[in-house]
Structure 1
Amino acid sequence: MRFGVGYNTAYHGVDPEEIAAFARHAEDLGFESLYLPEHLVLYPGAKLGPYEIPQTLPYADPLDCLSFVAAATSRILLGTGVLLLPYRHPVVLAKRLATIDVLSRGRMRLLTVGLGTLPGEAAAMGVDFRTRGRRADEAIDAMRLLWAGGEEGVSFAGEFFSFENVCSYPKPHGVARLPIHIGGSSRAAARRTGLRGDGYFPGGALDPAERAAQVELARWTAAGAGRDPRALEYTRWGSIDMTAAQVEALAAEGVTRIVVNPTAADPDRRHEELSAFAERFSLTG
């Protein structure tokens, strides 16, 4: 089992010294990865499920933050949970991700993308909320084409994005393409994982039967598409105080990575929560 940690600037703030100290502490303790979430804009009345989101929460850009983290660390992998792919242009995003991967010497390897659930956020980006699934699929295909393309250039003609005979450099560090994990809490997300994803990172308050059904659907879809379902990584959120028994239960479900979020408001206390977790699971051993 691999363990990652989340850092949410909306709740922990955007103090650069604390972000760097948190990332270095997580790295020193043996955590594999650090994840940041994304919201491009919020607005009065925006809700996640039944809960209204304060519109002044400081969601910093996750890729800019991860670039900053990369400069402050040397080993920890960089992840998003989740990046809102339909609201990003794939030509620009492919360049940004490859650049971070090169500058971090191959650590931009846990990109997790999702569709977003706030119609007002889509409207602010000029995106038809109903098309965001198709846009995300095209964006994944376009980015992979750009990463794989050589000096002769590549072309793409889709419903939302198109380009002709273009080259995108630098390439990702030492690989033909960056892994793309799929986040979501729906069967559509599970199918997208099977068709295009390198891993599945479901969220939301799914009951165990539905969660298991989605994971099985992702694997079944992968097999039907001629892909190896055993190659799909399976990431889940976990609590900072979870027990060994809970980790073993997730491992039995096929989970390969658990990402935990510290809950304390005080930075020193957050660091203590990470230390206690690392000691409990012997991450530095």
Structure 2
Amino acid sequence: MRFGLFGSAQAKRGGPDVDSGVGFREFVDYNVEAESLGFVSTFLVEHHFTGFGQISATLNLLTFIAARTKTLRLGTAVIVLPWHNPVLLAEQTATLDLLSQGRLDFGMGMGYRYREFHGFAMPMEEAQERFDESLDVLLKAWTSEEPWSHRGKYWQFEDVVVEPPTHQKPHPPLWMGAGSPESIRKVAAQGYKLLLDQYASVEEIGERISLFKSEVEKHGRAFDPMSVAVTRSINVVRTPAELQKAFENRIAGRRRIDRLTLRPDGKNQKR
């Protein structure tokens, strides 16, 4: 078992006396200290239009962390492919992988918050198709040495060689967030590593890992326990009052995320 960090930083809005960057700088220092204590990785979220300053430029912040660290693996959990130009994303991730000397772990997903898709004026119904097409382009961009073209439903590129190349070959390790049995089977079939969420119970996490292991082996590959990352929230408290406060904050955070996730029909996107 290895231990890493997962999370976000906040850039709070305010007047001229508010330093909106302090949350980012403290988060960078937090990662530097974690590396010195033996943590092996950090995985950052990507979110938009939250109203409370979650990380939106994930690769930018990871690049800053890369400059301050030596061994810490730099992960995305996750970059939402439907929102990004895949060629620009390939260039940006390759640059980070080179600067960090091969420390990038690329976690990707389709997205699940209705408000974010609404903000980008993008129907959530297109998420799967956009994800699949963007991933095809990304893989081609990372691995092709000769000029190539792509004419898809959402993206078109003509006679391009994407630069720079990645440090890790053929590309950085690929992680995918999944929770439903169908999505876990898909991750296993494609040979990617699995990111599991922070809210599922311990029993549910065990069931999902067991399913992933069996599906990986079904496809003729040996199961590597390090190909699964599980997110858990840990709060250090000293008194019953602090425990109650931590519990209330956790519940409030979950409800806030649920509000951002809900579609107009009152349903959530499956993951």
1:127-166 map, 5 Å = 127-150=122-145, 152-166=146-160
Cα displacement (A) at 1:76? 0.8
Residue deviations 1:247-267 (CA, integer Å, cap 9, x gap):
xxxxxxxxxxxxxxxx8xxxx
Structure 2 partner of 1:3: 3
Q: Secondary structure at the match of 1:34?
A: strand
Runs of 4+ in 1 over 6 A off after TM superposition: none
Partner Cα separation in structure 2 for residue 21 and residue 209 of structure 1: 34
Cα displacement (A) at 1:186? 2.1
Structure 1 partner of 2:223: 230
Q: TM-score, normalised by structure 2?
A: 0.73
Q: Secondary structure at the match of 2:231?
A: strand
Matched, 1:193 2:187: yes
- Contact 1:10–1:60 at 8 Å: present in 2 too? no
Which has the higher relative contact order, 1 or 2, with Cα contacts under 8 A spaced 6 or more apart? 1
Q: What is the letter of the counterpart of residue 228 of structure 1?
A: R
Partner Cα separation in structure 2 for residue 205 and residue 63 of structure 1: 25
Cα displacement (A) at 1:153? 1.3
Partner Cα separation in structure 2 for residue 21 and residue 204 of structure 1: 23
Between 80-89 and 14-23, report the one with greater CA deviation: 14-23
Cα displacement (A) at 1:170? 0.9
| 1:93 aligned residue (60, 82, 89) | 89
- Contact 1:14–1:58 at 8 Å: present in 2 too? no
1:1-285 map, 5 Å = 1-10=1-10, 14-15=21-22, 16-42=24-50, 55-108=51-104, 110-150=105-145, 152-207=146-201, 210-222=204-216, 226=219, 228=221, 230-231=223-224, 233-240=227-234
Residue deviations 1:182-232 (CA, integer Å, cap 9, x gap):
1132234313312335210111533456544544444455456x5625257
Q: Secondary structure at the match of 2:108?
A: strand
Seen in structure 2, the aligned counterparts of structure 1 residues 202 and 11 have a Cα distance that, compared at 3 Å, is: farther
Q: Secondary structure at the match of 1:139?
A: helix
Provide the alpha-carbon RMSD of the alignment: 2.7
The gaps in structure 1 that reach 5 residues or longer are: 43-54, 243-262, 264-285
- Contact 2:47–2:54 at 8 Å: present in 1 too? no
Aligned identity (percent) is 27
Seen in structure 2, the aligned counterparts of structure 1 residues 14 and 124 have a Cα distance that, compared at 3 Å, is: same
Seen in structure 2, the aligned counterparts of structure 1 residues 14 and 219 have a Cα distance that, compared at 3 Å, is: farther
- Contact 2:176–2:195 at 8 Å: present in 1 too? yes
- Contact 1:220–1:229 at 8 Å: present in 2 too? no
Partner Cα separation in structure 1 for residue 8 and residue 210 of structure 2: 30
Partner Cα separation in structure 2 for residue 136 and residue 147 of structure 1: 16
Between 130-139 and 203-212, report the one with greater CA deviation: 203-212
Cα displacement (A) at 1:141? 2.1
Seen in structure 2, the aligned counterparts of structure 1 residues 102 and 24 have a Cα distance that, compared at 3 Å, is: same
Q: What is the letter of the counterpart of residue 71 of structure 1?
A: A
The gaps in structure 2 that reach 5 residues or longer are: 13-19, 237-245, 247-271
Seen in structure 2, the aligned counterparts of structure 1 residues 126 and 91 have a Cα distance that, compared at 3 Å, is: farther
Residue deviations 1:105-144 (CA, integer Å, cap 9, x gap):
1111x22222222222112223220121222222222111
Seen in structure 2, the aligned counterparts of structure 1 residues 195 and 11 have a Cα distance that, compared at 3 Å, is: farther
- Contact 1:81–1:112 at 8 Å: present in 2 too? yes
Seen in structure 2, the aligned counterparts of structure 1 residues 101 and 86 have a Cα distance that, compared at 3 Å, is: same
Cα displacement (A) at 1:99? 0.5
Residue-pair matches, total: 228
